[in-house]
Amino acid sequence: MGSFRIGDETDRALVSVISHELQRCDMSFNLFSSTAPRSNEQVGNQSLTLNLVRYNSYAMFVQHLYEYFIGCIKRQRRNTKDVNSKAAESLITQEVEKILKLKRTSIEEGYADESENNKPHYQENCPKYFSRDFREMRNIVSHADYERIIQKKRINLTEFYKKYHKYVFLLFHHAKDSWTFTRGDLIDLGDVTSFNKAIWN
């Protein structure tokens, strides 16, 4: 396709796709949160099914959050062509830096939410390799890649969670605050809507 104008048919379709990706991201994170262990006893007493649900839901959360931002970049550029990986990494890093700065400013000026009123938590810069590893993690969980199981040279989901959960969580919550989809059930999402009609016919 290529270039488009804000408000045209392609733009409206892309907006629906972006909304859908954020909804998928939100649903994945809610599933992950709802199955998280609440005690040491629960950590030590896990079923394979529950472990898979947790891993899969967090992997899907990462995947859909990344795709949400790719969709936003395409809309910002008004072009549906694939986004160069280096450009995507740069823009995602800028977004993290912007959010960290906004958090610090809101604390300094006294209008931060009580749960976010911890300035040292937002003091550092975006980690150097976060955006690169975010993209790598999306690729690993999206494809049949053996390095998903055996870590060689690439990051795995365990390492990604330990190093970067704070930053993907900031991106996720900022996206939810910036993008209204609470009435998403009223949006015609094309084939998503058609599929749900088809399964009852």
Note the pLDDT tens digit of each residue in 150-198. 767 788 999 999 999 999 999 999 999 887 655 445 566 778 778 878 8
Q: What is the pLDDT of residue 75?
A: 95
Summarised one tens digit per residue, pLDDT across range 126-147 is 999 999 999 999 999 998 878 7
**16-21 LR contacts (CB < 8 Å, sep 24+):** 16/187, 16/188, 16/189, 16/190, 17/71, 18/68, 18/71, 18/72, 18/75, 18/179, 19/179, 19/181, 19/184, 19/187, 19/189, 20/189, 20/192, 21/64, 21/65, 21/67, 21/68, 21/71
Q: What are phi and psi of 47, to 5 degrees?
A: -95, 155
**How far is residue 131's CA from residue 128's CA, in Å, rounded to a whole number?**
8
Give the residue among 91, 76, 104 at the shortest CA–CA distance from 130. Answer: 91
The full set of domain ranges for the chain reads 9-192
DSSP bridge partners of 3 = 79
Question: Can you tell me the distance from the alpha carbon of 201 to that of 199, in angstroms, rounded to the nearest whole number?
Answer: 6
